Structure 1
């Protein structure tokens, strides 16, 4: 068996890199969508987990209209680096107790209000932000 010369090594190396580049560019549109779908699923799961964890405190504070306590709770939740901001939308569409990082473009009127949890994307500062909305039940009704 003869050793591979530098010239052959260079030629096969360039060919290998070319094939790898074609494959990488060929599959990149598919991987971007998969990563985006996985990321959205991860954020939705995290939102549900956080909501389920704070729901009893949240319901109590809303029922008592304890906006200072609610604000403190939201600030602790927003310490999670994957959660940008948290706020409460009252039935009239006013944003109460938002954390300081709440995007200026956020509007309660534009967020989905339904009997079930909902997720929507908004644009803020040139980036896409996933907004999660969860209905709150209290003795005074849903919020």
Structure 2
């Protein structure tokens, strides 16, 4: 997906300066505890479905939208897993960004996974014990999603 219009408009005003955005990440687990992953078109690595909130959008609605946009799977949110401020980062064009990420545990309702947009090269279910290597942060999201803790995890110090 191309850069959203609201970000392009903000970038016209602030240039490459740090932009604070709300990110959303989905840990989608089916009944057999397989995990839904996407292989990203931008860097070729496997990852959890993720995206950003559009202005005025509710987080749980946004994560369901992102799952469907990237994988063609319709899903429902089970719970908020964690809230985490990620470190600042830069894109190749020099844009600086920092995300407040909301990670949700979700389950599929219907639909077979397939590439559903230009952000993904592949989409597939993987056993929790045998999936492609993910970033340490994504692996932590999965670990946290597998707990039965109803309270979201967040930093306290």
Q: TM-score, with normalisation over the residues of structure 1?
A: 0.24
Q: TM-score, with normalisation over the residues of structure 2?
A: 0.23
